[in-house]
Structure 1
Amino acid sequence: MLANDPVTQARLDLAAALRSAARHGLNEGVCNHFSMAVPDREDLFIVNPYGLNWSEIVPSDLVIADFAGNVIEGRYPVEATAFYIHACIHAAKPRAAVVLHTHMPYATALTSICDGRIEMCTQNAFRYWDRIAYDETYGGLALSTAEGERICRAMGDKDILFLRNHGVLVCGPTVAQAYNDLYYLERAAMVQVLAMQTGRPLHLIDEATARQTAGLIAEDTQQAFLHFESLKRMLDRDEPGWQTSGRRRSSGE
């Protein structure tokens, strides 16, 4: 079988991530956005269109846009906040080839309480040692370049940003690595929130142990890719045609 060209592969990976996120309960209606820089282009990015549930998206639905908000390729519109958030991050952070934004429930719950943080109380949490920035200011809907730039500054040099009263952003060099971080971030948040509901204090692990464990987790450079390939196999098994199925357009499109 011939390998896909880089843009086709990017579309497949992003569609697989969106569908997997829906299967994992990380999506919300037709909102939120996943994006990826177009391979070998510094001025364009691929993003999911506005109006489609993540569970129904196929690679051909994904839109290519520029940083000015213009749709370069695609038949659907893009939600406005996707331009202002994702374009700013892609433009300012070349390492952030992939940017995932969700309102996934448990992590978002932590953004909604005073001093909400991922605490070093579970092994899954340790993989995020010193990798998360916390934006303490809710800036309203991201409908301006100024707000997108403010969010980008708040992220700084971290891979992950908790947006106060809003949701999370996860960045990475590949779809597999970014999605793996998104998935385990929600798992860490879920267990923490469940533990907090007992009313008992969290048992925090000391910084030295958390840092050491984070380093050991990071040494496994294959886990994220193996995880993502397994998700694609599940899509092939349970949702045949997800890679190529066309969509019948309604009269309103």
Structure 2
Amino acid sequence: MDTVAAKPRLDFDAPSVRRLRADLALALRAAAHHGLAEGVCNHFSIELPDGSERFLLNPRGLLWSEIRTEDIVLVDFDGNKLAGRHEVEPTAMYIHAAVHRLTGQACVLHTHMPHATALTLTEERALDTRLSQNAMRYHGRLAIDAHYNGLALDHGEGERIARAIGQADVAFLGNHGVIVCGARIDHAYDDLYYLERACQAQLLAQSSGRPLVPVAEELAASVAAQMQGERLQSELFFEALRRTV
């Protein structure tokens, strides 16, 4: 029987890992630049592509605007810090380890960004993906965890959140915030940015008091497929952030 050779285990300072660390730090600074950060809370992570069940994570206690490549830490799926000069915050390990392990998503971005979080406080709990063009890119890609259960301070709560996400790319966590997942940092960050823009547009429209006009389900699904089928714009956006943030 043929066997698949195990991938070599990547070192924390290997060039490919250092590039991932730099990209993760850039995504965090960009989020601060775009008003998506909240104090020193919330976390972004990216799994190492070697199958070793380890992921990179932003550290505890730093503003996202100040994070650089050297600040990123490495942890395992059990929540143990393996490398890095800073400590990690407990809820980060419980949520991110569970989401990586149970959903198989490589990149996990968790924020309490204002407009998306505001929608988690409503009866619907989430964005209406039939409204703006930006919202349509998420049609069929959302999960809603309507059950707020306090801070994620144990493995059980992290796993409950991960199971609520399932195979979705975007999860609205009731009374809490959002999680955006993806296979790559640049694609996931693009989704995070435009998710907040879509939520902002919906809330502005709702504040007008005028009736909203969603498009048909079929059209929203078609637009979502168009946007998912061409991600060059996401990559160009991230490279523009690399030049300017």
Contact 1:80–1:143 under 8 Å retained in 2: yes
1:10 aligns with 2:30: no
Percent of pairs identical after alignment? 52
The answer to whether residue 184 in structure 2 is matched with residue 183 in structure 1 is: no
- The answer as to 2:237 corresponding to 1:232 is no
What RMSD, in angstroms, separates the aligned Cα atoms of the two structures? 1.0
Q: Is the 8 A contact 1:7 1:39 kept in 2?
A: no
Distance 1:61 1:220 in 2: 33
Distance 2:49 2:19 in 1: 10
Asked whether the equivalents of residues 125 and 146 of structure 2 are also in contact (C-alpha less than 8 Å), the reply is no
Q: How many residues align?
A: 231
TM-score relative to the length of structure 1: 0.89
Q: 1:115 aligns to what SS in structure 2?
A: coil
Partner of 1:167: 177
Q: CA–CA distance in 1 between the matches of 2:236 and 2:220?
A: 24
Residue 123 of structure 2: SS of its match in structure 1?
A: coil
- What is the CA–CA distance in structure 2 between the aligned matches of 1:92 and 1:154, rounded to whole Å? 10
1:1-253 aligned within 5 A: 5-94=15-104, 96-119=105-128, 120-235=130-245
Please state whether the residue corresponding to 2:110 is helix, strand or coil: strand
Q: Is the 2:187–2:231 Cα contact (8 Å) retained in structure 1?
A: no
Residue 128 of structure 1 contacts residue 214 of structure 1 at CA under 8 Å; is this kept in 2?
Answer: yes
Instruction: Point out the more displaced range, 69-78 or 179-188.
Output: 69-78
Taking structure 1 as reference, are residues 116 and 202 closer, same or farther at Cα in structure 2, changes over 3 Å only? farther
Distance in 2 (alpha carbons) for counterparts of 1:12 and 1:100: 15
- Aligned equivalents of 1:117, 1:56: Cα separation in 2: 31
Gaps of 5+ in 1: 236-253
How many angstroms does 1:90 deviate by?
1.0
Give the CA deviation at 1:202. Answer: 1.1
Moved over 3 A (4+): none
Does the residue aligned with 2:31 lie in a helix, a strand or coil?
A: helix
Q: Is the 8 A contact 2:76 2:82 kept in 1?
A: yes
